[in-house]
Amino acid sequence: SATSSHSSDKVAGAPDIDDLAARARAVIPSGTSRSTLYVPPAVPMARSGRSAWLTDESGSRVLDFNNNYTSLIHGHHFEPIQRAIAEALDEGTSFGLPTRREVALAEHLRDRTGHEQWRFSNSGTEAVMQAIRCARAVTGRDLIVRFEGSYHGTSDPVTDSDRPGITCAEHETVMVLPQGSLAALQTVFGDRGDDVAAVLIDLMPNRAGLEPADPEFINAVRQLTTRHGSLMIVDEVITFRLALNGLGPSYGIAPDLATFGKVIGGGLPVGALAGRTDIMSAFDAKTGPLVAWGGTFSANPLTMAAGLAAVQAYDQPAIDDLNSRGNQLRHCLSDAGVKVNGRGSLMRIMEKVDVSDLWWALYRRGVFAGTNALLSLSTAMTHEDLNLAADAIVDAVQAVRS
């Protein structure tokens, strides 16, 4: 079992963990800026990572299945990324000008996905925010349609209206439909089709259970949006890792806009909006209505360098290998009676147990999961790592059930 690898040797010079946690809580609400990682009673603090393993401040080593919320496709300290960052760093950390590195990453992503034009941000949240604004600008309409349980970051239009600080006005221009409901979508288009600026979808929504979207539904979104002059936006921030060109093409559809993040930054902050030139021209000072999009650190050269190194090393053979290892792990867990959803290198444990208890049971057995028991693989994981993880996960689930 992975328990044996989960040592708690005190690291020389390590801070007193209780003291550090108390200091964190005093100066940062909840003790962390990572709002999605609130795992009571206290969040472990990361110290360092090497390949598939993370060491926390109390000296525990855990297999990293969180991978910074699925973004570290090559795990920690991947040599080509380290080298690319070091080279870029040597030339300077940021400039108020575009760089050749930005052009190179955009060209790589264009050639790989077919999306004609790209624009980078510092997060997936910003990319989605700009996709929505762009769709409104281009169509001259306000209404955005999205689906319950799909997470698109935390900009106002995609944050649930029951959360404090979101205005009613914001939500008069956003309709939230039941996840995957074709009937609800048809009703909206029947009643107000000509008001819809865009339909925003995630093809494998994590918070809705990481169930791959129904092709019939996705095709209906494409047809209805086209018929009514609305845009279809596919949020590929998480799903890009599953295929060379993202998950959209496996449904045989071409969205008008797509958003990206996570993997394409090689572990540094990133987001990107991509789409057809006629739509992306909304951001072109010469041709468009010029949608506002600032960003002091957008397309910063360190991120561009790290991102290019990450995606270049994540080619078709690497993707196929990682997805097949993910499928193997999922089958192995299902065979042991663990309920698990997902596809390829992304999966989620779907047991009806307390998520915090499950998270801790996994962590104590050396498996670091995302919130909601989301697990993602990295190319740094060896067969041995995955075997350790499978045993630890089965053991943790059984312990929490009983």
Is 155 one of the binding residues for ligand PLP (CB under 6 A)?
no
Least Å from the CB of residue 124 to ligand PLP: 2
Options 43-51, 148-156, 246-254, 381-389: segment touching ligand PLP (CB under 6 A): 148-156
The binder of ligand PLP chosen from 53, 69, 120, 147 (CB under 6 A) = 69
Is 345 one of the binding residues for ligand PLP (CB under 6 A)?
no
Q: Check residue 68 and give left, alpha or beta (phi > 0: left; psi -120 to 50: alpha).
A: left
Tokens 């050269």 belong to which residue?
301
Least Å from the CB of residue 307 to ligand PLP: 13
Site for ligand PLP in 288-317 (CB under 6 A): none
Site for ligand PLP in 1-40 (CB under 6 A): none
Residues in the chain: 402
The binder of ligand PLP chosen from 49, 75, 124, 255 (CB under 6 A) = 124
CA angle 385-44-156, nearest 5°?
100
Pick the closer one to ligand PLP by CB: 234 or 319. Answer: 234
Q: How many CB atoms lie within 10 A of CB 79?
A: 10
Pick the closer one to ligand PLP by CB: 202 or 395. Answer: 202
x/- letters, 199..218, toward ligand PLP (CB under 6 A) = ---x----------------
Least Å from the CB of residue 212 to ligand PLP: 14
In sequence order, what are the beta bridge partners of 342?
347
Active site residue 363: no
- Tell me how far apart the alpha carbons of residues 258 and 130 are, in angstroms, rounded to a whole number: 11
Least Å from the CB of residue 69 to ligand PLP: 5
Options 2-10, 123-131, 315-323, 388-396: segment touching ligand PLP (CB under 6 A): 123-131
Asked if 218 contacts 185 with a C-beta cutoff of 8 angstroms, the reply is no
Q: How many residues in the shown chain lie near ligand PLP by CB under 6 A?
A: 14
The binder of ligand PLP chosen from 235, 351, 385, 395 (CB under 6 A) = 235
Point out the catalytic residue in the list 235, 256, 385, 395. Answer: 235
Is 248 one of the binding residues for ligand PLP (CB under 6 A)?
no
Residue nearest to ligand PLP (CB): 124
Q: Residue 354 corresponds to which tokens in the numbers above?
A: 């307390």
Q: Residue 34 corresponds to which tokens in the numbers above?
A: 């990572």
The binder of ligand PLP chosen from 141, 146, 152, 241 (CB under 6 A) = 152
Pick the closer one to ligand PLP by CB: 105 or 392. Answer: 105
Whether omega before 164 lies within 30 degrees of 0, making that bond cis, reads no
Active site residue 151: yes
Asked if 178 contacts 147 with a C-beta cutoff of 8 angstroms, the reply is yes
Is 66 one of the binding residues for ligand PLP (CB under 6 A)?
no
x/- letters, 259..288, toward ligand PLP (CB under 6 A) = --x---------x-----------------
Least Å from the CB of residue 390 to ligand PLP: 25
Is 128 one of the binding residues for ligand PLP (CB under 6 A)?
yes
Least Å from the CB of residue 239 to ligand PLP: 7
Is 151 one of the binding residues for ligand PLP (CB under 6 A)?
yes
Least Å from the CB of residue 388 to ligand PLP: 26
Point out the catalytic residue in the list 56, 69, 256, 262. Answer: 262
Write out the residues near ligand PLP by the rule CB under 6 A: 69, 123-125, 128, 151-153, 202, 235, 237-238, 261, 271
Q: Which residues are catalytic?
A: 151, 235, 262
